[in-house]
A and B are shown apart, each in its own frame.
Chain A
Amino acid sequence: MRFNRWVAIFVLVIFSAAILLSGCGQKQAATTTGENVIKVGVIAPLSGDVKTFGESVKNGVDLAVSELKDGKLGNFKIEVIPGDDRNDPKEATNLATKLITEDKVSAIIGAVTSKCSIPVSQLAQQYKVLMITPTSTAEKVTLDENGKRKDYVFRVCFIDPFQGTVAAKFALNDLQAKTAAVLYDQGNDYTVGLSEVFKKDFEAGGGKIVASESYTNQDTDFSAILSKIAPKNPDVLYLPDYYQKVSLIAKQARDKGIKAVFLGGDGWDSPSIDQAAMNGGYFTNHYSVEDPRPQVQDWVKKYQAKYGKRPDSFATLGYEAAQVLFKAIETTNSGDPTKLRDAIQNMTIEAVTAKISFDKNGNPVKPLAIIQYKDNKQVFVKKMTP
């Protein structure tokens, strides 16, 4: 009995402490809204199957914020509200709704993967809140079902067709490939989009697609489809999926005796990829840390000093998204999403990876980088435009 009473008192103390603490938090929030504050939501997968993507984006944004003088831009204090979407579109929608309707953010940086960004972009457009996705490459993020532009939505990365086109061109011209096989996740817009464009352009350029196979996100055993591909002996195996899936496929492909060069997209850019399995493979990416451009080298140094590792493209694009947003806030000296939108549409900015401006669909105009995994590290091959 006595034991139970102590437990009850203990629980009470904990609860009241929690209530007191959360009360304090609210009070603080109230005082900051007294000044001029621009709230910026960040939506990224901070846990789950692509968590390194989200962590990097958040690091990039945090670094950009830490460079502001007193955390201020003009008259405005910048307040960042991060959230974890776990790479789940439902969770991303909930987060976006909360950020827009409860926190009243002016802008959202995010989401990271296309499948989360598409529903978020619909909400942003509906509530007229500015959205800049750092890394979502699907066309449908800035365009709606009818191909009409969602004019509050921008991105700072290239789009899928661009990646597929460049990958096909690289395979044909640089790798001298004659035949290619494609494997993609039928339930993921990103991999479907990339593989379709790659197939079209590779065949248009005179190559031959010897196999095109799909799988589902749940699959772990690829032996059946890989055994089917092996005797066709393709020069290139195009694997446009995220790092955890391609690690698994690549290992099994080598087990099945497939000697093709692996080729992929920006989903490969992660320290958690199985680099030994990917050895010799090339992928199209937003930038390379070895790019001699001074802004890139500067950025790499800054990032390394703060986080102790080299920035992957997700960190870089997170930073660029914040750069674009902050420049818009600075020039308009306002947190009004409509003014910010107009400023970004007409902006030319010397960002980290290139000098960028935005086309009529909210996409940046800039080249991409080809990178190779070689002996457990990334090697910069070249920059390409389609």
Chain B
Amino acid sequence: MESFIQQVINGLQLGLMYALIALGYTMVYGTIGLINFAHGDVFMIGAFVGYLGYSSWGLPWPVAIIVSMAVCAALGVIIERIAYRPLRYAPKIAALISAIGVSFFLEYGSSLKFIFGPDYRVVQRPFRSITWNLGGVSITNIQVVIMAVVIIFLLFLLFLVFKTKIGAAMRTVSFDHDAARLMGVDVDKTISFTFAIGSALAAVGGVLYAIAYPQIYPFMGIMPGLKAFTAAVLGGIGQIPGAVLGSLIMGQVETMTAAYISSQLRDAIAFAILILVLLIRPSGILGRSQQEKI
């Protein structure tokens, strides 16, 4: 029983980490119907900037997270301005290919020696790791920090989207660009804002990921990015609560597969779920099909 609870906690940590990335996918998809494949790489840049922030530049780690968020928010806005906005009314496939291009650009660009370099780096954690043993279940302070930070940001996001004016604008744009414009919403600005928020969350995810799994390299965003994307689809892409639910399910599925079936099947099962969801319920668990506008 303890070991089961232990695995649930492991899965929760992984799932919350995916949630931060999945939100970016889902928000961008919700507003412009684009799958932003560069999102996993923004996550990677976030991890690097955060790590450099608290190690090389000597910032306290919460400040490093905020710096990293700012850098990635700016990066997200720039990516949208350069690579997606000119293609907004082009066929969807054009923007998708552009997204893949941006993804490769970020991966190989940051592999260059004078940017981050191609090497694996061991990340020194900004605080000492402490393990508590609660009735046979071990919890580390790192897990607690991660869960707390993720939950704070999720609540902040929900507040932003459902209680503020800019949130209302985002929701309006997600229904219909032209109608939103007629209502006096600045569509371009709202989309930029969506990218900024999504990328900033990815940056938080990146820094926390590097603290939990202390190693960074330029291709580290690919796998978490794919998994988070799967989670977003699973929960119903375009739906914010769906992204969180999907991520939590993904985290549990992966952990439970590794723990009780076989660690070799972990990725196979994770992606089999993606295929199954697409076949049986393309709109995802919380998705409503009438809202789809592909």
B158 to chain A: which residues have CB within 8 Å? none
Contact indicator B119/A47 (Cβ below 8 Å): yes
Of the candidates B11, B122, B223, which one forms a contact with A272 in the assembled complex, judged by CB atoms under 8 Å apart? B122
A199-232 CB mask vs B (1 if < 8 Å, else 0) is 0000000000000011110111101110110110
- Knowing A223-B10, A252-B213, A257-B131, the reply to whether A51 touches B267 (Cβ < 8 A) is no
Which residues of A, 268-306, contact B by the 8 Å Cβ criterion?
A: 272-274
**Central interface residue in A86, A219, A220, by most chain B CB within 10 Å:** A220
Of the candidates B2, B217, B263, which one forms a contact with A213 in the assembled complex, judged by CB atoms under 8 Å apart? B263
Say yes or no: is A256 at the interface (Cβ < 8 Å to chain B). Answer: yes
Tell me the smallest distance from the CB of B130 to a CB of chain A, in Å: 10
B266 to chain A: which residues have CB within 8 Å? 216, 219, 224
Contact indicator B263/A257 (Cβ below 8 Å): no
Contact indicator A221/B14 (Cβ below 8 Å): yes
Which residues of B, 261-286, contact A by the 8 Å Cβ criterion?
A: 263-264, 266-267
Contact indicator B259/A224 (Cβ below 8 Å): yes
Say yes or no: is B129 at the interface (Cβ < 8 Å to chain A). Answer: yes
Of the candidates A49, A214, A224, which one forms a contact with B254 in the assembled complex, judged by CB atoms under 8 Å apart? A224
A186 to chain B: which residues have CB within 8 Å? 264
Say yes or no: is B138 at the interface (Cβ < 8 Å to chain A). Answer: yes
Which residues of A, 40-89, contact B by the 8 Å Cβ criterion?
A: 47-49, 51, 86
- State which size class the interface on A falls in: 20 to 34
The 27 listed contacts between A and B (C-beta, < 8 Å) are A47-B117, A49-B119, A216-B267, A218-B223, A221-B213, A223-B14, A224-B10, A224-B255, A224-B258, A224-B266, A225-B259, A227-B10, A230-B138, A231-B2, A231-B3, A244-B215, A248-B213, A248-B214, A248-B215, A251-B129, A254-B129, A254-B131, A255-B129, A255-B131, A256-B138, A257-B138, A274-B122
Contact indicator A255/B140 (Cβ below 8 Å): yes
Tell me the smallest distance from the CB of B60 to a CB of chain A, in Å: 21
B interface residues (Cβ-Cβ under 8 A, vs A): 2-3, 6-7, 10-11, 13-14, 117-120, 122, 129, 131, 133, 138, 140, 142, 209, 212-215, 217, 220, 223, 254-259, 263-264, 266-267
Contact indicator B213/A247 (Cβ below 8 Å): no
- Knowing A224-B7, A257-B133, A274-B122, the reply to whether A247 touches B215 (Cβ < 8 A) is yes
Contacts A214-B264, A224-B259 aside, 9 further interface pairs with beta carbons under 8 A come to A223-B10, A224-B255, A224-B257, A225-B259, A227-B10, A251-B214, A255-B131, A257-B138, A272-B122
- Knowing A255-B140, A274-B122, the reply to whether A223 touches B264 (Cβ < 8 A) is no
B257 to chain A: which residues have CB within 8 Å? 224
B120 to chain A: which residues have CB within 8 Å? 49, 244, 272
Of the candidates A51, A227, A248, which one forms a contact with B119 in the assembled complex, judged by CB atoms under 8 Å apart? A51
Q: How far is the CA of A235 from the CA of B131 in the complex (A)?
A: 20
Of the candidates B140, B212, B223, B263, which one forms a contact with A225 in the assembled complex, judged by CB atoms under 8 Å apart? B263
Give the number of residue pairs across the A-B interface with Cβ within 8 Å: 92
Shortest Cβ distance from B214 into A: residue: A251
Contact indicator A228/B3 (Cβ below 8 Å): yes
Q: How far is the CA of A262 from the CA of B167 in the complex (A)?
A: 51
Tell me the smallest distance from the CB of A78 to a CB of chain B, in Å: 29
**Central interface residue in B122, B212, B266, by most chain A CB within 10 Å:** B122
Contact indicator B267/A227 (Cβ below 8 Å): no
A interface residues (Cβ-Cβ under 8 A, vs B): 47-49, 51, 86, 186, 213-216, 218-221, 223-225, 227-228, 230-231, 244, 247-248, 251-252, 254-257, 272-274
B6 to chain A: which residues have CB within 8 Å? 227
Tell me the smallest distance from the CB of A273 to a CB of chain B, in Å: 8
- Knowing A218-B267, A255-B129, the reply to whether A274 touches B214 (Cβ < 8 A) is yes
Q: How far is the CA of A218 from the CA of B133 in the complex (A)?
A: 30
Tell me the smallest distance from the CB of A281 to a CB of chain B, in Å: 15
Contact indicator A47/B118 (Cβ below 8 Å): yes
Contact indicator B118/A48 (Cβ below 8 Å): yes
Shortest Cβ distance from B257 into A: residue: A224
Tell me the smallest distance from the CB of B110 to a CB of chain A, in Å: 13
Contact indicator A215/B263 (Cβ below 8 Å): yes
Tell me the smallest distance from the CB of A191 to a CB of chain B, in Å: 14
Q: How far is the CA of A310 from the CA of B259 in the complex (A)?
A: 41
Of the candidates A86, A220, A231, which one forms a contact with B213 in the assembled complex, judged by CB atoms under 8 Å apart? A220
A244 to chain B: which residues have CB within 8 Å? 120, 122, 215
Contact indicator B223/A223 (Cβ below 8 Å): no
Tell me the smallest distance from the CB of B210 to a CB of chain A, in Å: 10
Tell me the smallest distance from the CB of A325 to a CB of chain B, in Å: 29
